[in-house]
Amino acid sequence: MFTDELKFNGQGLIPAVVCDHGSGEVLMVAWMNEDAVKQTVETRKATYWSRSRQKSWVKGETSGNVQKVHWIRTDCDADVLMLGVEQTSGACHEGYRSCFYRELRDGQWEIIQEKVFDPDEVYGS
């Protein structure tokens, strides 16, 4: 099976860098276990492993901000995945398109993106 070629860490996880399939913009980084990888391949919906909740979750199951997976790649060591996705609204639970919405400028973290949704409306306070 294709997952046999991947190198999961000691906790059975592999990091996944998630980017826009067209522009290459990095949207987020998450963790996947073997089942999440298989489910993502089968459904073409990005599925991840929550380390804090110790369970799988489909991106957008709560927020509606789904990720349709167009392609999956691995690096030369097969210990990192990259997913090319079509992102509905924002990827970040803070309401931004990308989790990488802050940039270091003159020694300060500055917000460089506009919010695309209100997280209080989506997740509640």
**pLDDT tens profile 55-107:** 999 999 988 999 999 999 999 999 999 999 999 999 999 999 999 999 999 99
Percent of the chain with pLDDT over 90: 94
Predicted TM-score (pTM) above 0.85: yes
Contact 123, 63 (CB under 8 A): yes
pLDDT, position 62: 86
How many residues belong to the chain? 125
pLDDT-derived band of residue 5, with 50, 70 and 90 as boundaries?
very high
Q: Which residues contact 12 (CB under 8 A, 6 or more apart)?
A: 33, 34
| The pLDDT value given to residue 125 | 63
Are residues 11 and 79 in contact, defined by beta-carbon separation less than 8 angstroms? no
Task: Label residue 1 by pLDDT band (50, 70, 90).
Answer: confident
Confidence band of 124 (pLDDT split at 50, 70, 90): confident
For 85, the token pair is: 């996705």
Using the predicted structure, report yes or no on whether residue 26 has a pLDDT greater than 80: yes
pLDDT at position 54 = 94
15/49 Cα distance (integer angstroms): 10
Which residues are paired to 102 by β-bridges? 111
Q: Mean of the per-residue pLDDT values for the chain?
A: 96
64: its two tokens: 């509606």
Query: CATH classification of 2-93, choosing from 2.40.50.140, 3.10.20.810, 3.90.180.10, 3.40.1280.10?
Result: 3.10.20.810
